């Protein structure tokens, strides 16, 4: 068998995850939900005073926001497939809210928290989008 015939018989390898194209039109609902979760809800809590800011810092920043980012990435991955632009976009929207709404005693603590939480949001988003795309491929949607 010649090399040309042999190359034709080999099937191309499939990737582990189903990849999709990023489109702002397809991602509108995810972007709107993220803006509400990271900018509208914190604004309402900041307006509630000191108790609202405490709830915002403890409940939202450390628990609800990472869970929201992971669930949104998972749903996006299952519906649209994996794309590296979506997790970056989610991380940027989430990171912008940290210096805007969270009140810290010192600038260095705010900078450390900003860097750590931005990394957490982006990592959660990347991993959950990857897992969602893998689930999509397993389900053959």
Report the pLDDT averaged over residues 24-32. 85
Structure confidence by residue, pLDDT tens digits, 58-110? 788 888 889 999 999 999 999 988 888 888 888 888 888 888 877 667 777 87
Query: Residue 85 has what pLDDT?
Result: 87
Q: What is Dmax (Cα atoms) for the chain?
A: 78
Residue 3 resides in a domain? no
Residue 118 resides in a domain? yes
Range from 81-85, 104-108, 111-115, 128-132 that averages highest in pLDDT: 128-132
24-48 burial string, b = 16+ CB within 10 Å, else e?
A: eeebeebeeebeebbeebbeebeee
Tell me how far apart the alpha carbons of residues 73 and 129 are, in angstroms, rounded to a whole number: 4
Q: Return the residue matching tokens 């939900």.
A: 33
Query: Residue 47 has what pLDDT?
Result: 87
Query: Residue 95 has what pLDDT?
Result: 85
Q: Return the residue matching tokens 């957490």.
A: 120
How many domains does the structure of the chain reveal?
1
Residue 10 resides in a domain? no
Q: Is the pLDDT confidence value at 35 over 80?
A: yes
User: Got the DSSP string for 83-127?
Assistant: -THHHHHHHHHHHHHHHHH---SSHHHHHHHHHHHHHHHHHHHHH
Query: Residue 11 has what pLDDT?
Result: 52
Residue 73 resides in a domain? yes
Q: Which domain holds residue 84?
A: 20-139
Residue 8 resides in a domain? no
């Amino acid at each position: 068998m010649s090399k040309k015939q042999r190359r034709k018989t080999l099937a191309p390898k499939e990737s582990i995850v189903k990849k999709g194209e990023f489109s702002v039109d397809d991602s509108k609902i995810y972007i709107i939900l993220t803006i509400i979760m990271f900018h509208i809800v914190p604004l309402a809590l900041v307006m509630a005073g000191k108790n609202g800011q405490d709830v915002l810092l403890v409940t939202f920043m450390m628990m609800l926001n990472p869970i929201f980012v992971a669930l949104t990435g998972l749903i996006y991955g299952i519906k649209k497939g994996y794309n590296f632009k979506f997790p970056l976009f989610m991380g940027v929207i989430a990171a912008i809210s940290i210096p805007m709404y969270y009140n810290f005693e010192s600038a260095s603590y705010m900078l450390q928290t900003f860097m750590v939480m931005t990394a957490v949001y982006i990592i959660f988003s990347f991993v959950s989008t990857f897992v969602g795309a893998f689930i999509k491929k397993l389900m053959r949607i």
